[in-house]
Amino acid sequence: MGSPTLKKFTSFLAWLFLTNEEPPRLRVGWRLALQTFTTFLFIIALMAAAAWSHLLLFFPSEHLLIILQSIGITLAVYTCRKLLDRRSFVSLGLRLNKRAFTDFLAGAAISGLALGVLLLGLWVSGLLTVKGVRVDLPMLGYWVVIWLFVGWGEELWARGYWLQNIAEGGHMLGAVIISSIFFGLLHAGNPNITALALVNLMLAGVYLAWGYVRTRSLWLPIGLHFGWNLFEGTVFGFPVSGISPYAVTKIAVSGARWLTGGAFGPEGGLVIWGVMAIGAVLVWAVTRHRQEEVPSQS
């Protein structure tokens, strides 16, 4: 009784949830939703474990949260890549070889150079004053580790899982746009954020995606992201998306907030457009002779 109706309903559910592949997989929207939900579950579980084990006695809470978020993202992406995508984790562009190391270093160097131009430009224009330089090696090393966790986790999530799942259907431009909006929204709760800062972070997502598009690997965007945070905040002394880390260089920035970013840092002002433009040209320059190959989806 009701067999034709049941068949139509099950066919509709199959169309709604499953691809036409053999074996079928969940459609991309459902995979992204489940991966995001799984990420928050892992992070909540890790935070509960940290509270139970009294880890907050040894780490500042905001820094521990950064580490736990990165670990939670990694666990969720790995799990969903295997179970939902039916692909290998390394197929996200994470193969370890000589090029991985050089891409990471190139990305960090590109960010350092582009942000160095920003520092120099603001100083020459009279909008920035250097108040002093003090190197604390243990603190410097500590923040290098923090920024490694940030760069790894956020790139794995936005340029790894989101961008590449959407791009599987051949829609790379749409994948870049959607994953960049997602990347910006991940920072919507940062201190001192403004509407302009949110738009700029979405544009930063496009800039970081450019590193993936040029290499079909995550190592260059991870290096770009890590180097951006390290040089912007810890080396040159700017706030990093509303966060004020230990800084080697003590600076004071003046000028309109819409231009320099104010307390949010350069990502909150129009000056960051120039930094991203310089970085994008440098990414093209270091990858211009490379034959781009889409990684094997295995």
- Domain span holding position 65: 19-87
Q: Which comes out higher in pLDDT, residue 142 or 54?
A: 142
Are residues 58 and 139 located together in one domain of the fold? no
Coil, helix or strand for 104? helix
Q: How far is CA 239 from CA 116, 190, 218, 261, in A?
A: 15, 11, 25, 9
Are residues 26 and 154 located together in one domain of the fold? no
Type and span of the H or E element at 251: strand 249-253
Are residues 69 and 129 located together in one domain of the fold? no
Are residues 112 and 250 located together in one domain of the fold? yes
Are residues 73 and 123 located together in one domain of the fold? no
Mean predicted confidence (pLDDT) in 246-253: 94
The total of other beta-carbon atoms located within 10 Å of residue 238's CB is 27
Q: Is residue 44 part of a domain?
A: yes
Are residues 70 and 186 located together in one domain of the fold? no
- Tell me: pLDDT of 294 over 80: no
Q: Is residue 10 part of a domain?
A: no
Are residues 40 and 126 located together in one domain of the fold? no
Q: How confident is the model at residue 52 (pLDDT cuts 50, 70, 90)?
A: confident
Are residues 275 and 135 located together in one domain of the fold? yes
Q: Is residue 92 part of a domain?
A: no
Residue that is written with structure tokens 């923040």 in the block? 143
Long-range contacts of residues 182-191, Cβ cutoff 8 Å, at least 24 apart: 182/158, 183/154, 183/158, 183/208, 186/154, 186/157, 186/158, 187/241, 190/241, 190/242, 190/243, 190/264, 191/242, 191/243, 191/263, 191/264
Q: What pLDDT, on a 0 to 100 scale, did the predictor assign at position 292?
A: 47
Q: How far is CA 157 from CA 36, 124, 135, 160, in A?
A: 9, 38, 33, 5
The answer to whether 74 and 186 are in contact (CB under 8 A) is: no
Q: What pLDDT, on a 0 to 100 scale, did the predictor assign at position 12?
A: 55
The answer to whether 133 and 237 are in contact (CB under 8 A) is: no
Q: How confident is the model at residue 238 (pLDDT cuts 50, 70, 90)?
A: very high
Domain end, chosen from 32, 64, 87, is at: 87
Nearest residue to 84 via CA among 33, 13, 136, 144 = 33
Type of residue at 116 = G
Are residues 154 and 174 located together in one domain of the fold? yes
Mean predicted confidence (pLDDT) in 99-106: 95
Mean predicted confidence (pLDDT) in 206-214: 96
Q: Is residue 8 part of a domain?
A: no
Tens of pLDDT, residue by residue over 17-51, are: 667 777 778 888 899 999 999 999 999 999 999 98
- Tell me: pLDDT of 16 over 60: no
Q: How confident is the model at residue 7 (pLDDT cuts 50, 70, 90)?
A: low
Q: How far is CA 126 from CA 130, 239, 250, 254, in A?
A: 11, 19, 16, 8
Q: What pLDDT, on a 0 to 100 scale, did the predictor assign at position 1?
A: 45
Are residues 68 and 119 located together in one domain of the fold? no
Q: Is residue 153 part of a domain?
A: yes
Domain end, chosen from 42, 66, 87, is at: 87
Q: Is residue 2 part of a domain?
A: no
Are residues 126 and 218 located together in one domain of the fold? yes
Are residues 81 and 197 located together in one domain of the fold? no
Domain end, chosen from 29, 54, 87, is at: 87
Q: What is the mean pLDDT of the chain?
A: 90
CA angle (273 as vertex; 199, 203 as ends), nearest 5: 35
Q: Is residue 24 part of a domain?
A: yes
Mean predicted confidence (pLDDT) in 190-213: 96
Please give the tally of structural domains in the chain.
2
